[in-house]
């Protein structure tokens, strides 16, 4: 009788256990989610240095989109659609670079005066400024203290050489590296802005489709509300700030403030932050007081108070709040909190986030009211 042997089974022919279709679909969905999260995290880590530049490009594209769309209707793009995006990107670059060039030229002109001041300070000390003699009280004591401590050659030489050390050189190197880094990021922002101008229809369609697929109709409404918030912020901050700087620059000129154009530009930039123009106005008034023009300083301070009060309490809330449907308190909190968190970019990110949160809150509360 032949022995009974077990059949030899080929391992390659053993079929792998198959999962039920529902369980396999769930596992594949979980794997896809993990893959997307991992790739997204890796992409953010790779691009984290350039994320502010990308954010600036998006903000500029949203802010300038009405102008670009109007120009595109007036001058239809060609086959490759390169000319109009290039011209718009160059115009944006010129708007940002022209003031820097003016500041550089002015700094070069002032370099001779600064060098002359340093030589005189080393030779004979730093003379007491004229405004000390016009102080309402303590003028003689303040002038005497200045002459005793800073008005002689030894004090001036010690003060000048106190800054002539390795720390100043190190700070200069760090400042130079930071400037180069900012220039590179600005160039990257311009490149991204060019492609956003050229492909704005595709980008807009994909963004709205993604919001709709991920969050439904509510996601598209939130996206549109954030875009409207950026438009309102540009109108309420940038345009109003430029208007404040222009008006106060005229006041500076007739009041005799030194370098009224530069101080007007500084006021315009500072006025983009609510209540930030007060610093530039204070500098202008102090320069006039230092020159002995107390009356002109009071005129500048009064004019600045009127202009900033009207802009911050009437014009700006109407522009920003009317577009975003936000109370001015939330606009102000979004702006100040955004600046504290993201720097200058927070001027636009903060109100956009607040607008989205308020929209979601209103839809949530109104939905409950309708159900009740």
Determine the Cα–Cα distance for residues 320 and 330; give it in Å rounded to an integer. 11
355, two tokens: 């607008």
Determine the Cα–Cα distance for residues 202 and 67; give it in Å rounded to an integer. 18
- Cα of 366 vs its chain's centroid, Å: 34
Long-range contacts of 48-54 (CB under 8 A, 24+ apart): 50/185, 50/188, 52/185, 52/342, 52/345, 53/185, 53/186, 53/188, 53/189, 53/192, 54/188, 54/189, 54/192
306, two tokens: 């009127």
Q: For 326, how many CA atoms within 13 A lie in the half-sphere containing its CB?
A: 34
Determine the Cα–Cα distance for residues 368 and 366; give it in Å rounded to an integer. 5
Torsions phi, psi of 327, nearest 5?
Answer: -65, 150
Q: What is the pTM of this model?
A: 0.69
346, two tokens: 């927070």
> What are the pLDDT tens digits along the chain (372 aa)?
445 555 555 555 545 456 677 777 788 888 888 988 899 889 889 888 888 888 888 888 888 888 888 888 888 877 778 888 899 999 988 888 877 777 777 666 666 666 676 666 666 667 767 666 666 666 777 777 777 776 666 665 666 566 555 555 555 567 667 777 888 888 899 999 999 988 888 888 888 888 878 777 777 788 888 888 887 777 777 888 888 888 988 998 898 888 788 888 888 888 887 778 888 898 888 888 877 788 888 889 899 999 888 887 778 777 776 666 677 778 778 888 888 888 878 888 888 888 888 888 887 787 644 443
């Amino acid at each position: 009788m032949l022995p009974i042997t077990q059949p030899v089974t080929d391992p390659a022919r053993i079929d792998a256990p198959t999962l039920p279709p529902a369980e396999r679909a769930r596992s594949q969905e979980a794997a896809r989610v993990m893959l997307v999260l991992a790739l997204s995290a890796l992409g953010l880590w790779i691009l984290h240095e350039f994320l502010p530049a990308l954010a600036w490009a998006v903000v500029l594209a949203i802010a300038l989109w009405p102008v670009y769309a109007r120009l595109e209707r007036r001058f239809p793009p060609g086959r490759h659609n390169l000319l109009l995006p290039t011209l718009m990107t160059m115009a944006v670059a010129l708007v940002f670079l022209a003031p820097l060039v003016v500041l550089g030229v002015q700094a070069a002109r002032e370099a001779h005066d600064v060098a002359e001041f340093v030589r005189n300070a080393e030779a004979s000390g730093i003379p007491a400024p004229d405004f000390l003699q016009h102080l309402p009280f303590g003028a003689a004591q303040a002038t005497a203290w200045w002459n005793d401590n800073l008005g002689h050659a030894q004090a001036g030489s010690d003060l000048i050489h106190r800054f002539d050390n390795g720390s100043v050189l190190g700070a200069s190197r760090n400042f130079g590296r930071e400037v180069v880094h900012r220039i590179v990021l600005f160039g990257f922002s311009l490149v991204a802005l060019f492609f956003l101008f050229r492909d704005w229809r595709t980008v807009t369609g994909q963004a709205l489709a993604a919001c709709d697929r991920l969050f439904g109709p509510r996601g598209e409404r939130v996206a549109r509300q954030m875009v409207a918030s950026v438009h309102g912020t540009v109108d309420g901050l940038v345009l109003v700030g430029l208007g404040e700087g222009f008006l106060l620059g005229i006041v500076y000129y007739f009041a005799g403030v030194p370098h009224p154009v530069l101080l007007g530009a500084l006021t315009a930039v500072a006025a983009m932050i609510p209540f930030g123009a007060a610093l530039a106005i204070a500098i202008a008034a102090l320069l006039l007081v230092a020159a002995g023009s107390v009356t002109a300083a009071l005129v500048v301070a009064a004019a600045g108070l009127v202009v900033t009060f009207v802009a911050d309490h009437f014009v700006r809330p109407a522009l920003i709040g009317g577009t975003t449907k936000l109370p001015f308190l939330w606009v102000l909190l979004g702006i100040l909190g955004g600046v504290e968190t993201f720097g200058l970019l927070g001027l636009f990110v903060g109100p956009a986030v607040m607008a989205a949160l308020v929209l979601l809150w209103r839809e949530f509360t109104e939905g409950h009211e309708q159900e009740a």
